[in-house]
Amino acid sequence: MKIKYIPVFVNDMEEAIGFFTGKLGFSLAGETVLNDDAGYTAMQVNNTETYLNLQLDKHNSGFKTRIILNTDDCLKDYHDLKTKGINFKEQPQYLTIGLSAEFNDNYGNQYVLLEERNYNEL
């Protein structure tokens, strides 16, 4: 098994599509209706088989998602995203697992850039 779809609840679909394509570099993969009242817009994550499903939060449920984005160079991506207008909670931090930096989208969903590192390697 593998994860293919991750739901991300938004209040404005066009604005969210602009955020994911313009700032994060994801591509629009299409729209699908899951049932009569719940459709989503799929955003492909860097040409992988993993998709973020943007769904309108019609009922203002307040549900938020926390997504970890793996990166080979956290500092580079941090600076590139700041240049595109992403506001990070703080500067990249060293953790036991590696280097990370956190930001939110306009709807309160949380994202973590994570450059995994093994500090025990010689």
- Looking at residue 61, what is its pLDDT? 76
- Contact, 15 vs 57, CB < 8 A? no
Does residue 3 surpass a pLDDT of 90?
no
Does residue 109 surpass a pLDDT of 90?
yes
Mean pLDDT over the full length of the chain: 87
Q: Which pTM value belongs to this model?
A: 0.81
- Looking at residue 64, what is its pLDDT? 85
pLDDT tens digit string along 14-39? 999 999 999 999 999 888 765 555 66
Give the closest residue to 103 by CA, choosing from 93, 94, 117, 95.
Answer: 93
- Looking at residue 24, what is its pLDDT? 93
